[in-house]
Amino acid sequence: MAEVRRKAIVTGAASGIGAATMVELARRGFDVACLDINAAGGQATVQAATAHGGRHAAFAVDVADEPELTRVFAAAVAHLGGLDALATAAGVGDMVPFMELDAATFRRVYDVNVVGTFLCLREAARVMPRGSRICTVASVAGLRGGGLSGTAAYAASKGGVLALTKNAARALAERGISVNTIAPGATMTPMIAEPWKNPAHRARVEAMAVQNRTGEPHEIAQAIAFLLSADASFITGSTLVADGGLVMY
């Protein structure tokens, strides 16, 4: 009898943590669809995932655009033939200093990081069978109010993801869907390429963690894959901090 592969959507899988998560889920036997605003990056990750077997695809979409997201999410589910897992890694950073931050920037960061995450959770919940699992991506910035590289809009948006995740865990429990979040510390992706060009800044942030280093995307991907696995069956509404010992609370 042919093996039944599980089905996952990973947003933000054109790059960084999302890309590593898509490849890790492919390695663990999922067929995966990437939803990302960057179409070319999505195709590159599909190629990397295909090296581990399975059927993978990339769909271009802005997760904050409700009509588009709704349409593309449904197309991805139809392509996969179902949905058992969702990881929401699409996100944007923000480094505008507090006194220079304007409402338009604040709203765009919130739209992508919080509203975009919510829309994906809602669309996933419409189609997921009982036993399905979701992992959102927050940040230690949401737990401690920033203080690394991102600023007010970013920290506030990630605090929003933490609360949204707990609310979704409550709301979707009756559907048998578990929802958790990962809170990464500084992780080597294009998002931190700019701040990491300043060696003093990088050294300051790395020294905040007892491991005194920057994490690698696959280290976050493995934690996300755990939260999406049956091994995490009694875990919902939780925040898994993967930060080399920075927050420790």
Ligand X SMILES: NC(=O)c1ccc[n+]([C@@H]2O[C@H](COP(=O)([O-])OP(=O)(O)OC[C@H]3O[C@@H](n4cnc5c(N)ncnc54)[C@H](O)[C@@H]3O)[C@@H](O)[C@H]2O)c1
Write out the residues near ligand X by the rule CB under 6 A.
12, 14-18, 36-38, 41, 62-64, 89-92, 112, 116, 137, 139, 184, 186-187, 189-192
- Minimum CB distance to ligand X, residue 83 (Å): 18
Residue closer to ligand X by CB (options 54, 215) is 215
Known catalytic residue: 154? yes
Residue closer to ligand X by CB (options 5, 214) is 214
- Minimum CB distance to ligand X, residue 182 (Å): 8
- At 180, which helix (H) or strand (E)? strand 178-184
Determine the Cα–Cα distance for residues 197 and 192; give it in Å rounded to an integer.
Answer: 9
- Please give the backbone phi and psi of residue 198, each rounded to the nearest 5 degrees, phi first: -95, 105
Closest CA to 141 of 156, 155, 157: 155
Residue closer to ligand X by CB (options 91, 244) is 91
Determine the Cα–Cα distance for residues 245 and 119; give it in Å rounded to an integer.
Answer: 32
- Minimum CB distance to ligand X, residue 178 (Å): 20
Residue closer to ligand X by CB (options 92, 128) is 92
For residues 94, 98, 100, 106, the Cα torsion angle rounded to the nearest 10 degrees is 50
Determine the Cα–Cα distance for residues 181 and 138; give it in Å rounded to an integer.
Answer: 6
- Minimum CB distance to ligand X, residue 156 (Å): 12
**Residue 89 three-state SS:** coil
State the catalytic residue, choosing from 49, 152, 154, 185: 154
Determine the Cα–Cα distance for residues 3 and 103; give it in Å rounded to an integer.
Answer: 50
Catalytic residue numbers, as ranges: 154
